[in-house]
Homo-oligomer: A and B are copies of this chain.
Amino acid sequence: MRNLTRAERAQLAMVLEVSAFPKPGNVDRCHDFPSTRLEHFLASAILAGPALEAAERGGRGLGGLIHEAVELTCGHSGGNTHFGAFILLVPLVAGDGIEGANRLVKETDVEDSIEFYRAFGKTDVRVIPGHELDVHDPASLKEIRERGMTLYDLMLYSAPRDMVAREWVSGFQMTRKGADLLHAAGCGRQGIVEAYLSLLALEPDTFVIKKYGAEVAGMTMRKARQVIEGVRDLQAFDQECIEKGINPGSTADIIIASLYTALGEGWEWDC
């Protein structure tokens, strides 16, 4: 396998994640949502290319890069596909790994926040009323400027309720964990499914919490654990998540970041 550019590695991580199966509750090779389908994710992975290449070249702010990735990919009917993934991939690509990403996220400024909120407004990402700055409310942008909130500050603010934001302030801890799980699980798509399940069993998915509350997210965690322990059937768990609309989308975002990281460390997708 030739050496990949970092942008290519990020795109490869996106297509490998979405085509691995079964990933309980999420879009995968064998399952679509009614309005978000496999091809939306595949197209998004291709169309994000220029933003990821710009991140690799360096010299631009993370907020603007995330905004560009969203703009390049939001023109389809499938809604938000990779917004969470971009929040993680952009610093990882720009910083060439977790260490560099940790440095870059701390260097973000108010302009990054403004750009990020502009990107946010182009997605249909769920906002908890009263808990988050509302991107559709011009007062939020004013407040960001007045308070001098950097994008890191915004992530810190969202971290308790959003595991993707939490990655920025925790030093990409779950991303690292997911990469370790991939190395442990072994190569190829079976390894992706195992790492995804293990991550799902480790932390309540905050996308599920926002949609259904902490109890459902906690139950989903415990069921993932039971699948790993062999006392619950994987296919049945997938089916149950699908029927109930439980889609652990934030865990999937983190697995993409973990795949990016693990691929850079020699994890083999092809076996």
Contacts and interface: CB of A to CB of B under 8 A. Distances in A.
A269 B78 CA distance: 12
B43 A45 contact: no
A258 interface: no
Interface string A62-98: 0000000001100111100000000000000000000
Contact of A39 (B8, B43, B77, B270): B270
A72 B195 CA distance: 29
Interface residues of A, number: 30
Contacts of A45: 46
A49 interface: yes
A47 interface: yes
A119 to B, nearest CB: 15
Contacts of A189: 39
Interface in A41-61: 42-43, 45-47, 49
Interface in A23-41: 29-30, 38-40
Is the contact region of chain A dominated by helix, strand, or loop, or is it mixed?
A: helix
A231 interface: no
Copies of this chain per assembly:
2
A16 B269 CA distance: 21
A2 B76 CA distance: 9
A198 interface: no
A89 to B, nearest CB: 14
B40 A75 contact: no
Contacts of A1: 75-76
Interface string A100-139: 0000000000000000000000000000000000000000
Interface of A: 1-2, 4, 8, 11-12, 15-16, 19, 29-30, 38-40, 42-43, 45-47, 49, 71-72, 75-78, 189, 269-271
